[in-house]
């Protein structure tokens, strides 16, 4: 009895390690892409894998009312799920000003310039693309991301969209979260977040593929 | 002077409030906030639904506040427990935005479907819909005051309104 419970526990820990590793590999590649795009060193935190309620998920993104720039995409293929890259709006401004050489760009002052919008869109494309291609290389699974879509609004209104699929089967969500930050400015305050939310049936596929089921 | 509290309602959640308190929910995107209120008793309930239809659910035990087709009725029952007569109830709704433009292949249209489903439920339960602020592509934070029976709606890019 105690042995089987112990084994079950071990399996769970191993599963968490696998999901953490997915966050690690994905975000490391994305941070490298961002680093070469911005020509500055970008670091990342150790990924966190958590089982959270929908409301706790909003808190992870900074609170339901926090204004953020959010890039969302759906993942289709052998693994399905939702992915977000979330930046606090002040940080999004800094990135876009740097990329476009337009010091006046401000996501808090609509209407936004076309150039700024497409730069943000492109930033989202590049980061989510490098995250997911690393994930695909690591697992050998076919992963087809949808075209990323951008919204600058309250975190709650953005994140809830990614909960739709999961919410039909559960009131909790497993989230693989990785924070990235500008290493020149230190670890204080994570500047951007990746959230990977695999649809529940995909866990089995991931664990099976990586030989930990 | 009585102290005013703001009762908070989370996602897939509901609650009720009496004067002088107000009730609010934050960051509605494609979700819909449904207020049912009784003007004479100055009592209101707020529901924050996520999905249009509980038959899409694959769960054994369902949280009724998650779906439009179960949530409106559950809120009405909750108000009945507080001694509110259903025929006195009126409704105001907000939310149901399209937060992301997912291209022509986007069949989800979850925001508009949530709004449609809520309206169908209100009609079925004979609750008049007094006003609404739905659709568009803005997130909304809403707060209802059972004293004035006004629903205040705050957005990031489109200002604040009251319905």
pTM for this model (two decimals): 0.86
pLDDT digits (tens, 9 = 90+) for A66-111: 999 999 988 888 988 888 989 888 888 888 888 888 888 888 887 7
Nearest CA-CA partner of A135 in A92, A178, A173: A178
The pLDDT of residue B102: 64
Taking CB atoms and an 8 Å limit, are B156 and A54 in contact across chains? no
Per CB-CB distance under 8 Å, the chain B contacts of A67 are 156
Which chain B residues in 40-69 lie under 8 Å from chain A, judged by CB atoms? 50-51, 56-59, 63, 66
Given a cut of 70, is residue B163 above it in pLDDT? Answer: yes
Q: Which of B55, B15, B19, B7 is nearest to B34 (CA)?
A: B15
Interface test mutation site (partner B, options A76, A106, A153, max chain B beta carbons within 10 A)? A153
Token pair of B135 as six digits = 């659709």
Nearest to A158 among B56, B59, B99 (CB): B99
Distances from the Cα of B48 to the Cα of A2, A162, B27, B31, angstroms:
43, 16, 10, 7
Instruction: Taking residues B42-52, report their average pLDDT.
Output: 95
Query: For residue B31, which residues of chain A lie inside 8 Å, CB to CB?
Result: 157, 160
Q: A104 to chain B nearest CA, in Å?
A: 18
A–B interface: beta-carbon pairs under 8 A: 104
Output the CA torsion sign for A193, A198, A204, A209: negative
Residue B54 Cα, gap to closest chain A Cα (Å): 8
pLDDT over 70 (residue B103): no
Q: How far B144 CA sits from the closest chain A CA (Å)?
A: 17
Give the pLDDT of residue B60.
66
Of the residues B9, B16, B28, B31, only one is catalytic, namely B31
The 3-state secondary structure of A70-100 reads EEEEEEEECCCEEEEEEEEHHHHHHHHHHHH
For residue A73, give the chain B residue with the closest CA.
B102
Q: Do B11 and A160 touch (CB under 8 A)?
A: yes
Question: Residue A119 — very low, low, confident or very high, per pLDDT cuts 50/70/90?
Answer: confident
Interface residue B30 vs chain A (CB under 8 A):
yes
Q: Which residues 6+ apart lie within 8 Å of A4 measured at CB?
A: none
Query: Per the CB < 8 Å rule, is B12 touching A147?
Result: no
Give residue B86's pLDDT band: very low, low, confident or very high (50, 70, 90).
Answer: very high
Would residue B149 show up in a list of annotated catalytic residues for this protein?
Answer: no
pLDDT of A5 over the 50 cut: no
8 A C-beta contact, residue A187 and residue B77: no
ipTM above 0.90, yes or no: no
Structure tokens at B31: 């979700």
* B71 lies within 8 A of chain A by CB: no
The mean pLDDT value for A29-42 works out to 83
Cβ-based neighbours of A152, under 8 Å, separated by 6 or more? A67, A68, A69, A70, A89, A92, A107, A112, B156, B157
| Domains of chain B, earliest start first | 6-162 (3.30.1330.200)
Q: Mean per-residue pLDDT for B59-83?
A: 90
When comparing pLDDT for B106 and A45, which is higher? A45
8 Å CB contact of A153 and B66:
no
pLDDT in tens, A193-203: 888 888 888 88
Q: How far is the alpha carbon of A49 from chain B, nearest alpha carbon, in Å?
A: 21
Domains defined along chain A, listed by start:
2-210 (3.40.1550.10)
């Amino acid at each position: 009895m105690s042995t089987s419970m112990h084994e079950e526990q071990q399996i769970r820990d191993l599963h968490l390690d696998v999901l953490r590793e997915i966050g690690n590999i994905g975000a490391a590649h994305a941070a490298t892409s961002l680093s070469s795009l911005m020509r500055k060193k970008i670091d990342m935190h150790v990924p966190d894998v958590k089982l959270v309620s929908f409301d706790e998920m909003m808190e992870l993104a900074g609170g339901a009312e926090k204004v953020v720039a959010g890039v969302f995409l759906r993942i289709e293929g052998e693994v399905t799920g939702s992915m977000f890259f979330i930046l606090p709006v002040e940080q999004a401004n800094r990135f876009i000003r740097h990329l476009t050489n337009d010091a006046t760009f401000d996501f808090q002052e609509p209407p936004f310039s076309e150039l700024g919008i497409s730069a943000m869109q492109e930033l989202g494309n590049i980061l989510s693309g490098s995250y997911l291609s690393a994930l695909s290389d690591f697992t050998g699974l076919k992963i087809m991301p949808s075209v990323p879509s951008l919204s600058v609004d309250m975190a709650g209104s953005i994140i809830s969209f990614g909960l739709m699929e999961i919410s039909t089967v559960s009131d909790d969500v497993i989230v693989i979260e990785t924070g990235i930050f500008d290493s020149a400015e230190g670890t204080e305050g994570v500047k951007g977040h990746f959230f990977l939310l695999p649809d529940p049936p995909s866990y089995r596929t991931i664990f099976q593929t990586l030989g930990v089921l | 002077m009585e102290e005013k509290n703001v009762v908070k309602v989370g996602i897939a959640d509901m609650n009720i409030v009496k004067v002088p308190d107000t009730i609010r929910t934050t960051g509605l995107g494609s979700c819909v906030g449904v207020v049912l209120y009784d003007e004479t008793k100055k009592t209101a309930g707020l529901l924050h639904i996520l999905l249009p239809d509980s038959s899409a659910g694959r769960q054994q035990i369902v949280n009724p506040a998650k779906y439009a087709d179960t949530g409106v009725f559950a809120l009405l029952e909750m108000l009945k427990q507080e001694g509110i007569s259903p025929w006195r109830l009126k409704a105001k709704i907000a939310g149901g935005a399209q937060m992301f433009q997912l291209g022509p292949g986007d069949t989800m249209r979850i925001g508009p479907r949530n709004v449609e489903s809520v309206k169908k439920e209100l009609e079925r339960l004979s609750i008049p819909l007094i006003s609404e602020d739905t659709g568009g592509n803005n997130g909304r934070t809403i707060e209802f005051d059972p004293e004035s029976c006004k629903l205040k709606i705050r957005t990031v890019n489109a200002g604040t309104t009251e319905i």
